[in-house]
Amino acid sequence: MPLALLALAVGAFGIGTTEFVMMGLLPDVADDLGVSIPSAGHLVSAYALGVVIGAPLLAAVTARLSRRSVLIGLMGLFVAGNTLSAFAPDYDYLLAARFLSGLPHGAFFGVGAVVATTTAAPGRKARSVSLMFLGLTVANIAGVPAATLIGQHLGWRAAFLGVSVIGLVAIASLALLVPRDRQHAPAVGLRGELAALRSLPVWLALGTTVAGFGALFAAYSYITPMLTDTAGYAAGSVTLLLALFGVGATAGNLLGGRLADHSMRGTLFGGLAALVAVLALFPLLLRAEWSAALAVFLLGMAAFATGSPLQLMVMEKAAAAPSLASSANQAAFNLANAGGAWIGGLALAAGFGVTSPALTGAALAVLGLGVAATAYAVDRRRAVPAARGARERLVASHVPERPEALRH
C-alpha cells in the first residue's frame, strides 16, 4: 500500500468523525447553548450544506494547484472549522463554524480519490480508493464513539478540539507521505472544469449515487426506533449496533474495492441489488434481536460496497476534470443523506409503521438500479459508433496505395 493512502485515510478518519459526532452530542449542545433539540439538529444540516457547496466549488478553484498542497490546505480549513466550533460563544457562531467545517469535506475526498488512483499499481485503482475511504468507515467504529464519550464526560467542546488534533495529525501525514507533485490536472480553467460536468453519463453516475445512498439513509436515519420498538433492543444497546454497522461498512468498502478492480459495473449492480434485498427483508429481520443485528451489519456492507465503483465511474465519465467530478460525487452523497432521511420521514409521518423507512429505502435502491442500467445503456449506445469509426480508420490505414500508372 502506498504510504500516501495512509495519510489520506487519516484525513478521512477525522472528517468521518466530525461529520457524525454531532448526532451523539445534540442533547449536550442543546442544553449548553439553550436551544431546542430540533434547532440543534440544524447544526447537522449546516455541515451537510457546507459539503454540498464546498465540494465542487473548492475543487474547481484549486484545479491548477498541486494536489498535495490542495489536500494540506483543505485539512487546514478543516482544523480551523473544528477549532472555531470548540470555541463558539453561541448557537449562531457554532452554526457558521459547522458550515465552515463541511466546506473541505467533499473536495478532500475528491482530490484524494484522484491522488489514490494516480499512485495505485495497475489494476488496483478501486482498491486504492477503498483504502482511502477506510478512514471514513473506521471513524464510525472508533472515532465517533470515542469523540462522543469525550464530549459526554469532558464537554462537547473537548470533542471538537480532539477532532482538530486529528486534523493536525492528518496535515503532518500528508506533508510527509504524499509525494510532491506538479500540477497533474488539465489546466482547462474553471469554465473547462464545469464543462466536463455537462455530459449525460456524468449526471447519470451522480444520480446513481443520490438514489443508492439515499436508500441507505432513508433507513439508517431511523435505525434507532426500528431497533428499539421492533427488535426489542434497549436504548443503551444501540451504540454497539451502530458500531456493528461501521464494521459492515468497512467490510463492504474493502470488498467493493477489490471486486471493482475486476468488474466495476458488476460490483455496482451487485451492491445495489444486495441493498434492495436487505432493505426489503428488514421488517422480517427485525423480528428477533440476532437477525436485527445481522440486518444492521448487512446494511452497512451492501451500501458501502458501491462506494468505490461509484467514485471511479464518475471520475471516468469526466476524465477532463476528475477532481471536480469526484468532489461532485461527495456532494451527491450528502444530498442523498438529506433526501433519504426526508423521504424516510415521510413514510413514518404517513403512518405506514416504524419499519416503513426501510421499504422506502428499498424502492430508492431499485431506482438506483434503474439509473445505473440507463447509464450502462447510454454507454453501450455511444460505444457502437465509436467502435465502428475506429474500425473504418483501421481499414483505411491498411488500404494499399495504387501505383501511379493505374491512377491515370
Task: Kindly report the average pLDDT of the chain as a whole number.
Answer: 84
Which pLDDT value is given to residue 185?
47
Residue 215 clears pLDDT 60, i.e. is over it: yes
**Every domain of the chain and the residues it spans:** 1-179, 189-383
Tell me the CA distances in angstroms from 371 to 67, 181, 201, 338, 378, one per residue in order. 32, 37, 10, 19, 11
The per-residue pLDDT for range 182-207, each reduced to its tens digit, is 544 455 555 666 666 777 888 898 89
Q: Which residue has the cell 471493482?
A: 260
- Name the nearest CA neighbour of 282 among 296, 272, 269, 303: 296
Same topology between domain 1-179 and domain 189-383? yes
Which pLDDT value is given to residue 293?
93
DSSP secondary structure string for all residues of 123-145 = T-HHHHHHHHHHHHHHIIIIIHH
Q: Are the beta carbons of 194 and 117 closer than 8 angstroms?
A: no
Strand, helix or coil for residue 401:
coil
The per-residue pLDDT for range 71-123, each reduced to its tens digit, is 999 999 999 999 999 999 999 999 999 999 999 998 898 888 888 888 777 77
Share of the chain above pLDDT 90, in %: 33
17-33: average pLDDT? 82
- CB proximity list for 97: less than 8 A, separation 6 or greater: 81, 82, 84, 85, 88
The pLDDT confidence band at residue 137, using thresholds 50, 70 and 90, is confident
The per-residue pLDDT for range 30-83, each reduced to its tens digit, is 888 888 866 777 887 788 888 888 888 888 788 778 888 999 999 999 999 999
Q: Are the beta carbons of 331 and 106 closer than 8 angstroms?
A: yes
Question: In the numeric block, which cell numbers belong to residue 348?
Answer: 413514518
Which pLDDT value is given to residue 403?
54
The per-residue pLDDT for range 250-298, each reduced to its tens digit, is 999 989 988 988 888 899 999 999 999 999 999 999 989 999 999 999 9
199-220: average pLDDT? 89
- CATH for 189-383 is 1.20.1250.20
More confident residue, 195 or 374: 374
- Per mean pLDDT, which of 235-249, 273-287, 315-329, 376-390 is the most reliable? 273-287
368-390: average pLDDT? 77
Which pLDDT value is given to residue 195?
67
DSSP secondary structure string for all residues of 273-317 = HHHHHHHHHHHHHTTSHHHHHHHHHHHHHHHHTTHHHHHHHHHHH
The pLDDT confidence band at residue 384, using thresholds 50, 70 and 90, is low
- Per mean pLDDT, which of 149-158, 286-295, 317-326 is the most reliable? 286-295
Q: Are the beta carbons of 354 and 229 closer than 8 angstroms?
A: yes
Second CATH level (architecture) for the domain 1-179: Up-down Bundle (1.20)
